[in-house]
């Protein structure tokens, strides 16, 4: 029996999109690369600087290197804190959502509502919400005797930014987890009921392994978003108090626009980009290998 010939003509419909994406990404990237190897003495007055910006950036003893290392550590810490809350919380809420009936659509729509709000609007909402005088969040915490001041206390600022991100983006984890749970065949649950498995045993041995691929996507998306957070901390805390919430994206904008230092900012953005790609690649590779070992 002869194999059916493969028709690759469908790629011609995809090629224009690929060309547009490559053009819109490569041209800005090449501009950044060009700035990263030059220095400026004024408007449109550039001269070759080689890899000096990168050497300074990766040297923790230099001013820009210490600044970059501090912002990088704060960004990693924020990503870890947000993921540590959002992933377990998203799975827990997804397990509680109804599986049948009219309440399914309503619960999913209500769950997804925070994701529809733009970043700058979220920042303004929580800037008012966190105020000690009129903000419900800040006034309640202050009223019960907790030391809370988002503009002067670094701990308060950190808690507020993490809570904002959890409120805004945990719905993504919930929806992905819910879709993964709905994809599990009923035969698994029937076998668990016959064996008399507990609810925890069903979750550990059936639901969690089946959610692994979905959770890889969820964690990758949330890591990239948390690692590039900008609008919410800028609007709510301004990167303060001090440099407590000055993440890498905020520091990059301050250097590029505030100090008009496009050379070091371009070098920082390239290193920033490589770190994100490397972390995502490592995480995806590790999770893929674990999934293959589990299947074998």
Task: Report the distance separating Cα 119 and Cα 235, nearest Å.
Answer: 10
Q: Residue 10 pLDDT more than 80?
A: no
21-35, 42-56, 237-251: least confidently modelled range: 42-56
Which range among 91-95, 213-217, 274-278 has the greatest average pLDDT? Answer: 91-95
Q: What percent of the chain has pLDDT over 90?
A: 20
Neighbours of 34 (CB within 10 A): 12
pLDDT in tens, 149-165: 888 889 989 999 999 99
- Residue 5 has what pLDDT? 63
> What integer best gives the mean pLDDT of the chain?
85
Q: What percent of the chain has pLDDT over 70?
A: 94
Confidence of residue 258 (pLDDT cuts 50, 70, 90): confident
Q: Residue 296 pLDDT more than 70?
A: no
Provide the token pair at 41: 């003495």
- Residue 43 has what pLDDT? 62
Mean pLDDT along residues 116-143 = 85
Region of residue 59 (phi > 0: left; psi between -120 and 50: alpha; otherwise: beta): beta
Burial of residue 187 (CB within 10 Å: 0-12, 13-18, 19+) is exposed
Q: Which residue has the higher pLDDT, 2 or 264?
A: 264
- Residue 44 has what pLDDT? 66
**226 Cβ partners below 8 Å, 6+ apart?**
78, 79, 82, 83, 165, 169
What 3 state SS string does the chain have?
A: CCCCCCCCCCHHHHHHHHHHHHHHHHHHHHHHHHHHCEEECCCCCEEECCCHHHHHHCCCCCHHHHHHHHHHHHHHHHHHHHHHHHHHHHHHHHHHCCCCCCHHHHHHHHHHHHHHCCHHHHHHHHHHHCCCCCCHHHHHHHHCCCCCCCCCCHHHHHHHHHHHHHHHHHHHHHHHHHHHHHCCCHHHHHHHHHHCCCHHHHHHHHHHHHCHHHHHHHHHHHHHHHHCCCHHHHHHCCCCCCCCCCCHHHHHHHHHHHCCCHHHHHHHHHHHHHHHHHHHHHHHHHHHHHHHHHHC
pLDDT in tens, 31-90: 888 888 887 766 667 777 788 888 888 888 888 888 888 999 999 999 999 999 999 999
Q: Residue 241 pLDDT more than 70?
A: yes
- Residue 78 has what pLDDT? 94
The verdict on pTM exceeding 0.75 is yes
Q: Are strands 38-40 and 46-48 parallel, antiparallel or unpaired?
A: antiparallel
Q: Which residue has the higher pLDDT, 283 or 228?
A: 228
Confidence of residue 272 (pLDDT cuts 50, 70, 90): confident
- Residue 41 has what pLDDT? 66
Q: Residue 229 pLDDT more than 70?
A: yes
The full set of domain ranges for the chain reads: 54-295
CATH T-level fold of 54-295: MetI-like fold (1.10.3720)
Q: Residue 4 pLDDT more than 80?
A: no
């Amino acid at each position: 029996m002869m194999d059916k010939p493969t028709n690759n003509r469908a790629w011609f419909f995809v090629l224009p999109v690929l060309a547009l994406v490559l053009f819109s990404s490569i041209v800005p990237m090449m501009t950044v690369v060009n700035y990263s190897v030059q220095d400026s003495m004024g408007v449109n007055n550039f001269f070759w600087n080689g890899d000096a910006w990168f050497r300074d950036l990766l040297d923790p003893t230099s001013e820009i290197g210490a600044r970059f290392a501090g912002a990088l550590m704060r960004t990693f810490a924020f990503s870890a804190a947000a993921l540590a809350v959002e992933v377990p919380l998203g799975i827990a809420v997804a397990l509680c959502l109804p599986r049948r009936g009219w309440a399914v659509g309503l619960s999913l729509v209500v769950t997804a509502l925070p994701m529809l709000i733009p970043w700058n609007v979220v920042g303004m909402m929580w800037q008012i919400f966190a105020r000690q005088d009129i903000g419900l969040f800040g006034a309640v915490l202050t009223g019960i005797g907790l030391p809370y001041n988002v503009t002067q206390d670094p701990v308060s600022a950190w808690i507020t930014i993490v809570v904002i991100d959890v409120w805004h983006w945990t719905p993504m984890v919930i929806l992905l987890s819910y879709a993964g749970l709905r994809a599990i065949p009923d035969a698994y649950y029937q076998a668990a009921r016959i064996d008399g498995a507990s609810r925890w045993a069903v979750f550990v041995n059936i639901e969690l392994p089946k959610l692994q691929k979905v959770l890889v996507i969820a964690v990758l998306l949330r890591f990239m978003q948390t690692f590039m957070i900008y609008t919410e901390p800028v609007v709510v805390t301004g990167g303060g108090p001090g440099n407590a919430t000055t993440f890498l994206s905020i520091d990059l904008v301050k250097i590029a626009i505030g100090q008009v230092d496009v050379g070091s900012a371009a070098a920082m953005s390239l290193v920033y980009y490589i770190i994100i790609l490397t972390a995502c690649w490592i995480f995806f590779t590790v999770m893929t290998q674990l999934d293959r070992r589990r299947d074998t």
